[in-house]
Amino acid sequence: MTAAEVWLFSLADQERGVGWNPRASPEAQWKLGRTRALLDLAGAPDGQLRIALVAGTKGKGSTCAMLASILGAAGYRTGLYTKPHLQVYRERIRVDGRTISPEDFASEVERFRQLAADLPADAGEPTTFEVTTALALDHFANQRCDLAVVEVGLGGRLDATNATEPELSVITSISYDHTAILGRTLGAIAGEKAGILRHRRPALLAQQRPAALRALLTACRGVGAVCQVVPPLESDVALAGSHQRQNGALAVAAARELLPRVTKEAIQRGLQRLRWPGRFEVFEGAPPIVLDGAHNGASAEALAQTVTEYAAGRPIALVIGINRDKDARAVLRPLLRIATRVWATQTSANPRALPADELARTCRRLGAKSVGEADLSGALMQARLEAGTVVCVTGSLMLVGQARDALGLPPPERLW
């Protein structure tokens, strides 16, 4: 790593558990003013972009990727900012589907390392995510992007991405996740997501469970946003799983909101050309391996349905690793129902990872035949020896990324 990158990854970061105090209040952890100050020190690059801001519990990354692909297919230079990455951190920042180059990334980090030194003393040190958000928008402006599709990191109200002024807000399906931070009810979680709404600006909402929808519509009225609930597409999209029809519908509606004259041909091409690794990605072989980053109960339910359809009666071997801050039982229940054998594993170099043996014990308490294998490569090798099976690797995108490394798959430099 360059010296600039060493600095970036030394900052407080919740994802990696670095310098992060989970007991502090959200207001103390996140300071939108600090992100705004970073952007202003950089010359307010976000002001040069038309921004679509996307929040939600599940499907927001897929929605962002599909929207960016459609906008690009319509002829517009488009920046895409998502999280987390699979194999290399640079994947979070893309222009026209292509990952930022190592040289441009290092240059941007060095630029913001110097800018961060000029932050007011009472602002405190920025986090890794705050700096990455600002430098992504700076890169998009430098690359003369017309539009930027930006995925919210966590929640919405206090997320660094909410320091921008989006032209359009999108909220995907809401379910239980990060409850210690966002709240323990769907209404509370939805209220945090609704923080990205803007007065008199359009907001597109996925179909929601009643408690979440009530909270979102109340927030829309309070803010004065122009809200529309978007039903799923009737036809399938290129990404596997019936749940992707809802994400695709949001992407299509957002494209039409941003580009009223977008053609059906551009929409179709944008939806069909997208490659979105780690989201029901199939590594062909004997046996085939399904890689999916499902990490909460709702995502696990969708994965269980999709992989069952794909397996078409073949046994399913599960390789799974889950982080400590997730509801492991909620993730496991739908997946254990379809798995004939389970290898509990864990991501390496991750202090948030639930130890494999502990996860295996939880699986057994839920009635599954499970063994703990801390080494992911070893778990994969054992699962692949099960004749006639489909192997499903899941539990987090970090685990999927490390599985891609183990399988010899290169980082996804291009999405289309």
Q: Is residue 415 part of a domain?
A: no
91/114 same-domain check:
yes
pTM, entire model:
0.94
Question: How much is the average pLDDT of 186-202?
Answer: 95
> What's the pLDDT band for 140 if we cut at 50, 70, 90?
very high
| Whether residue 332 is found in the same domain as residue 401 | yes
Same domain, 185 and 302: no
Residue 87: CATH number of its domain: 3.40.1190.10
Residue 204 has pLDDT above 90, yes or no: yes
Domain region containing 80 = 3-273
Amino acid residing at 248 = G
- Position 412 in a domain: no
Look at residue 105 and tell me if it is in a domain: yes
Q: Alpha carbon of 414 to those of 63, 90, 97, 289: distances in Å?
A: 17, 12, 5, 21
From CA 333, how far away is CA 25, in angstroms rounded? 31
The reported pLDDT for the residue numbered 183 is: 75
**Whether residues 89 and 160 fall in one domain:** yes
Q: Are residues 158 and 135 in the same domain?
A: yes
The pair of structure tokens assigned to 400 is 């999927």
State mean pLDDT over 193-221: 96
Q: Is residue 59 included in any domain, yes or no?
A: yes
Is residue 313 located within the same domain as residue 189?
no
Residue 416 placed within a domain: no
**Are 287 and 217 found together in one domain?**
no
| Structural domain ending residue among the three candidates 229, 246, 273 | 273
Order across the sheet with 370-372: list the strands: 281-283, 289-291, 390-394, 316-320, 341-344, 370-372
Query: Is residue 371's pLDDT more than 90?
Result: yes
Token couple for 279: 């989201």
pLDDT value at position 29? 54
Helices (H), 11-142: 26-29, 32-41, 60-73, 102-116, 128-142
Together in a domain, 198 and 226: yes
**Cβ–Cβ under 8 Å, residues 86 and 183:** no
The domain boundary residue, chosen from 246, 273, 300? 273
Q: What average pLDDT does this structure show over 274-288?
A: 95
Same domain, 321 and 263: no
341/217 same-domain check: no
CATH number for 354:
3.90.190.20
Q: What is the pLDDT of residue 253?
A: 98
What was the pLDDT predicted at 36? 96
Does any domain span residue 32? Answer: yes
**Any domain includes 414:** no
Using pLDDT thresholds of 50, 70 and 90, give the confidence band for residue 376.
Answer: very high
Query: Mean of the pLDDT values across residues 43-67?
Result: 97
- Indicate whether 206 and 90 sit together in one domain: yes
Average pLDDT value over all residues in the chain: 93
**Dist. CA 85–CA 88, nearest whole Å:** 6
Q: Residue 145 carries which DSSP code?
A: -
Both 258 and 361 in one domain: the answer is: no
Predicted confidence (pLDDT) per residue in 89-133, tens digit:
999 999 999 999 999 999 999 999 999 999 998 888 999 999 999
Nearest to 248 by CA among 260, 257, 259, 235: 235
Q: How confident is the model at residue 159 (pLDDT cuts 50, 70, 90)?
A: very high
- Residue 82 and residue 63 in contact, taking contact as beta carbons nearer than 8 Å: no
Domain boundary among 233, 256, 273: 273
Q: How far is CA 144 from the centre of its chain?
A: 25
Q: 316 in a domain, yes or no?
A: yes
Q: How many domains does the chain have?
A: 2
Orientation angle between helical segments 102-116 and 3-10, nearest 10 degrees: 60
